[in-house]
Amino acid sequence: MLPQQSVEELLSLAHVQAIAGQAGVSMSYFDLDYGFDGTVRSIRARGSRLVTQGLAVDFQLKASINCLIESEYIIYDLDVKNYNDLIERRLSSNGIPCILLLKTLPASRDK
């Protein structure tokens, strides 16, 4: 059996891939972890071809059973290093925009 962290990562990757496909955007994962897990780019038609265009958003992808879901927000304990990666990028005037994607999972694998 896979470790819980590996299962969470695979489930979150599959979920994001499905959402990107439904939204009609291109999604790529980064092979190496330098603070962000992947990028999403918009797609447009150019003549008879579909091409990615310049608009991109990088993402950090997290999945956890340790979330508190309230009516208007989700409480999740993000590691300081990951928070700092997001904040530093957001404060940079020349960086690609970034977001945190959180996949909330049930506490039991049976649910």
Question: Along the 111 residues of the chain, how does pLDDT read in single tens digits?
Answer: 888 788 888 888 899 999 999 998 999 999 888 889 999 999 988 899 988 887 889 999 999 888 888 999 999 999 999 999 999 988 887 778 999 999 988 877 665
Q: How far is residue 63's CA from residue 31's CA, in Å, rounded to a whole number?
A: 18
Enclosing domain of residue 15: 4-102
What is the count of structural domains for the chain? 1
Residue 8 is assigned to a structural domain of this protein: yes
Q: What is the pTM assigned to this prediction?
A: 0.83
Amino acid, single-letter form, for residue 95: G
Residue 107 is assigned to a structural domain of this protein: no
3-state secondary structure of 93: coil
Q: How far is residue 15's CA from residue 38's CA, in Å, rounded to a whole number?
A: 14
Residue 67 is assigned to a structural domain of this protein: yes
